[in-house]
Amino acid sequence: MREIIFDTETTGFDPHNGDRMVEIGCVEMIDRVMTGETYHCYYNPQRAMPAAAEQVHGLSDIFLSDKPLFAEKAAEFLRFIGDAPLVAHNASFDFGFINMELEKCGHTPVDTARMIDTIAIARVKHPGAKMSLDALCTRYGIDRSHRVKHGALLDAELLAHLYIELTGGRQIGLSLVEESEREESHDRATGIETHSDRPFRKARPHQPSVEELERHSAFITGIKDALWNDTGRLS
């Protein structure tokens, strides 16, 4: 199943009060495995960036001044997400901004039935715990040392790892290819060479032949006080 894990950065908290989306990052996942396909874009919000928002994501008016308008990239974004379910952390916030931007440029809003909220999942699994992306990444041992400021694509990648853990862990996404890669890695570590293209050979028989039994019996007979001839001493 194809899913899109995404995150947005904005000028503020309320899309109905003049705030705009300034960045979006999307990560494609199929059967709980990240494919490496991503979508990322910055947008000119056509308004000033509040200092508080800039402090969070580091996107300044100067940086965004030459970026495209959302309307110019809306079709590209819609092609990437297709009809896949959309996964976000506090998803109603991100959906609110995406649908506001889509409506502004004459596109149909994304159906909220496609929305999957990782906070809602985390609240069921960890009631009473901190629900921030940072806190949950720490809980699951997801490395976020390279995250200095919020960034939509980086946060979407972290969220993809978190989503995997929240929905059952890595075993859900394991494939035969991954299994093969682990075996090859183990072979390199141990120095054992394996060849998957070797022809299958049946195990050779290990029972002694009649001739071998006779030779063994003659050998034992020539040994003085051989233990093999004294069954009482072996019991």
The C-alpha atoms of residue 216 and residue 103 are separated, in whole angstroms, by 92
Which residues are catalytically annotated?
150
Amino acid identity, residue 51?
A: A
* pLDDT of 159: 96
* pLDDT of 217: 76
The C-alpha atoms of residue 106 and residue 109 are separated, in whole angstroms, by 9
Q: How far is Cα of residue 198 from the mean position of the Cα atoms in its chain?
A: 34
* pLDDT of 221: 76
* pLDDT of 223: 77
* pLDDT of 197: 56
DSSP 197: T
Whether 125 and 166 have beta carbons less than 8 Å apart is answered as: yes
* pLDDT of 220: 74
In order of their start, the domains of the chain are: 2-176 (3.30.420.10)
Place of tokens 């003049």: 18
| Helix/strand/coil percentages in the chain, nearest 5 | 45, 15, 40
Q: Which residues of the chain have pLDDT under 70?
A: 147-149, 170-207, 226-235
Terminal CA-CA length for the chain: 64
* pLDDT of 150: 76
* pLDDT of 151: 86
Which pair of tokens denotes residue 169?
């862990």
Whether 18 and 45 have beta carbons less than 8 Å apart is answered as: no
The C-alpha atoms of residue 169 and residue 171 are separated, in whole angstroms, by 6
* pLDDT of 3: 98
* pLDDT of 16: 92
pLDDT digits (tens, 9 = 90+) for 69-118: 999 999 999 999 999 999 999 999 999 999 999 999 999 999 999 999 99
Whether 8 and 97 have beta carbons less than 8 Å apart is answered as: yes
* pLDDT of 128: 95
Helix axes 91-104, 118-125, angle to 10 degrees: 170
Cross-strand partners of 86: 4, 115
| DSSP annotation string for 207-229 | SPPHHHHHHHHHHHHTSTT-GGG
Whether 67 and 38 have beta carbons less than 8 Å apart is answered as: no
* pLDDT of 53: 95
